[in-house]
């Protein structure tokens, strides 16, 4: 598996990688409850949105931590 990036979309329910344009997770049916027809946002957008993330899986938290470790801030 490639290292996750903050610009990618991962399902908070099952940690499956999803396309940028999505309408929630087709596997576990997790979707964003705040507008955008259930669309799950990229990791960075989720982090800075300030939204409460309920019912996220431990696998998603591992993906998020790994993506944050691999993040290289622009100078």
Categorize the per-residue pLDDT at 1 as very low, low, confident or very high, splitting at 50, 70 and 90: low
Q: Which of the two residues, 73 and 24, has the higher pLDDT score? A: 24
Answer yes or no: is 25 within a domain: yes
Percentage of the chain lying above the pLDDT 90 cut = 41
Answer yes or no: is 4 within a domain: no
Beta bridge partners of 18: 9
The count of structural domains within the chain is 1
Distance CA 5, CA 42 (A): 9
State which residues form the domain around 53.
9-70
Answer yes or no: is 38 within a domain: yes
Model confidence pLDDT, tens digit, residues 2-37: 789 999 999 999 999 999 999 999 999 988 766 667
Distance CA 33, CA 69 (A): 28
In sign, the C-alpha dihedral spanning 64, 69, 72, 75 is: positive
Answer yes or no: is 64 within a domain: yes
> In this predicted structure, what is the pLDDT of residue 7?
92
Q: Specify the DSSP element, H or E, that contains 9.
A: strand 9-10
- Predicted TM-score (pTM) of the model is 0.83
């Amino acid at each position: 598996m490639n290292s996750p990036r903050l610009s990618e979309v991962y399902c908070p329910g099952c940690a499956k990688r999803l396309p940028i344009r999505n309408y929630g997770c087709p596997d576990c049916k997790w979707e964003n409850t705040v507008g955008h027809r259930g669309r799950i946002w990229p990791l960075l957008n989720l982090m800075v949105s300030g939204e409460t993330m309920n019912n996220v899986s431990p696998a998603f938290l591992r993906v998020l931590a790994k993506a944050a470790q691999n993040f290289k801030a622009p100078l």
